[in-house]
Structure 1
Amino acid sequence: MKLRQRLVELAAVLGILTLTGCNACTEQHNPRPDQERFQQEQDLGNAPKKTLNDDGSLPKVEEVKEESAGAAVASQDNAGVKKYQQFCVACHGANGAADGPAAMAMNPKPRNLTDPAWQDSVDDARIAKVIKEGGAAVGLSATMAPWGAVVSDEEIEQMVAYIRSMKK
């Protein structure tokens, strides 16, 4: 009887030692560092990059560096930028020029958020209302979906500020 009890105790100890030894295995396969690196690469990849000036000439190196650095910082720190990338890029495009992948199939086309005439003609409250309640709520196209159920008012304010920064 004592021998059987000793064997059970020994098996339990060996089982516990085996399970604690697997901790090194789980650390080896931890996906978190890869996820953080992927997020950094995604933010850098989604940052707008200036390739040519409006007249077709090459930009100065300093202009490209400043623009890329500012966009990378904005995309990492601002929830409004992340929400724009999550919900708006498909139609309005990464730079707001209405050149997203879904824009080609849409009629009417999405708003070009970089247009200075439009930027000057609309106030922040109207942009926020369109984001929150959708295009149909303000007499625009119903293809502009309402995002108020999934985006907070604070994030909408940050999205509006980001949209304002797209003005050319």
Structure 2
Amino acid sequence: MAPPSEATMELGRAVWNYRCYFCHGYSGDAKTLATSYLNPKPRNFQETRAEEMPHERVMSAVRHGVPNTAMKGFTGILNDQEMEAVSQFLRQEFLVSRAKNTRYHTKEAGWPDHEQRYAKAFPFARGDIAIDTPWDKLSAEQQEGMRMFRTSCITCHDHGKVNDPGKAWESRPVSFPRDAYCSSCHQDVPRSEPKGVSHPQRPATHTFAERDGSVPVRSPTRPEAQVASNYVIHDKPPVLVNASAQELQGEKLFHRNCAFCHAGDGTSKGWIGSFLEPHPRDLTDPQQMKGMTKERLVRSINEGLPNTSMPAWKSVLSPAEIDALAAYIHKAFHPVQGMAAAPAARR
């Protein structure tokens, strides 16, 4: 097969960098956060021989997915030209050329001066130094790099490398990156907006990050308002008033299992929700929740929704837990028809 044209490669690269990187990595090596919790793990194309993945096999996986894995089919999401381009790009870039693909941490992607500003964190992101290395075994510069990694890099790079994996670092997944802009809410707003311009939907609480290249690094000494991440606003759950015991149970279950895609505030405008297509349901949107009944909501949670990323939870959560989730959604985000009023417990 002849090498793909430059136009095909660039189209394939654009599709890969938007649709595929979260699981397979920008360079196809599957060194991603998703790899740490998926089983079986995404394929590492940098360690796959080209003859193992002929074009026809790649195209089949892109079109139809791979059974019993997290690899979903993209028919109906990508058109034929895009599927052809990303398949050819994958083979040429990773299987044939063993290339490293496009750099992600660029000024255009919200990372001005990344190579200089975050250099001390690189050893932890690359896995050169384990992040559970005893503090007193690190030099002063490495300690600074450790702080930077934990506050600015860990969301996407996760463990990096650890000597003892131990338990999960967080009991609840964080669904936002520490980047410098919020594309889920205002993709149509130019990034040249002046510093401090209000978020169009939440003017009282949410502003754009600094645009002058001086986005502050997250650190324990900086207040939350200065953090260079606007997705954090969507990770904050609503405050419940007079919640029942069932609703409080549903709150815990939602933030352990559902917030990663639907966001903590139920809007699905977190980092992960913005990459899934179709996007997860905005549980706060009257139009998307129009006609929602308890029966329909419970069935959706139980059985999942075909042709979406909504999985079936019936083998993970008990019927009582799914009822609690429905009760929480009714209480916190949008009224659900058929939900009976529950006696208040506390809060």
Unpaired stretches in structure 1, ≥5 consecutive residues? 1-37, 43-51, 59-66
1:82 aligns with 2:249: no
**Percentage of pairs with the same residue:** 26
Number of residue pairs aligned between Structure 1 and Structure 2: 107
Q: Can you list the C-alpha shifts for 1:65-102, whole angstroms capped at 9, x where unaligned?
A: xx64639x679972211111111101100010012331
Q: Which of 158, 163, 166 lines up with 2:329 in the alignment?
A: 163
Kept in 2: contact 1:75–1:81 (CA 8 A):
no
Q: CA deviation at 1:157?
A: 0.9
Unpaired stretches in structure 2, ≥5 consecutive residues? 1-169, 173-198, 206-237, 336-347
Q: CA deviation at 1:118?
A: 3.1
Give the structure-1-normalised TM-score: 0.52
Residue 288 of structure 2 aligns to a residue whose secondary structure is helix
1:104 aligns with 2:270: no
Given residue 117 of structure 1, which amino acid in structure 2 is its aligned partner?
Q
Q: Which of 241, 246, 253 lines up with 1:70 in the alignment?
A: 241
Residue 290 of structure 2 aligns to a residue whose secondary structure is helix
Given residue 161 of structure 1, which amino acid in structure 2 is its aligned partner?
A
Kept in 2: contact 1:134–1:147 (CA 8 A):
yes
Whose helix fraction is larger, Structure 1's or Structure 2's? 1
Given residue 70 of structure 1, which amino acid in structure 2 is its aligned partner?
V
Give the structure-2-normalised TM-score: 0.27
Q: Which of 110, 116, 121 lines up with 2:286 in the alignment?
A: 116
1:132 aligns with 2:302: yes
Determine the structure 1 residue equivalent to 2:315: 149
Tell me: CA distance 1:76–1:121, structure 2 relative to 1, closer, same or farther (3 Å).
Answer: closer
Kept in 2: contact 1:81–1:162 (CA 8 A):
yes
Aligned ranges 1:45-64 → 2 under 5 Å: 56=203
Given residue 278 of structure 2, which amino acid in structure 1 is its aligned partner?
P
**Over aligned residue pairs, what C-alpha RMSD do you find?**
3.5
Kept in 2: contact 1:96–1:114 (CA 8 A):
yes
Tell me: CA distance 1:135–1:99, structure 2 relative to 1, closer, same or farther (3 Å).
Answer: same
Q: CA deviation at 1:155?
A: 1.0
Q: Can you list the C-alpha shifts for 1:97-153, whole angstroms capped at 9, x where unaligned?
A: 0123311211111100001233331111111111111112xxxx3310111111111
Residue 119 of structure 1 aligns to a residue whose secondary structure is coil
Q: Can you list the C-alpha shifts for 1:47-77, whole angstroms capped at 9, x where unaligned?
A: xxxxx9x68458xxxxxxxx64639x67997
Partner Cα distance (1:133, 1:78) in 2:
23
Partner Cα distance (1:163, 1:69) in 2:
11
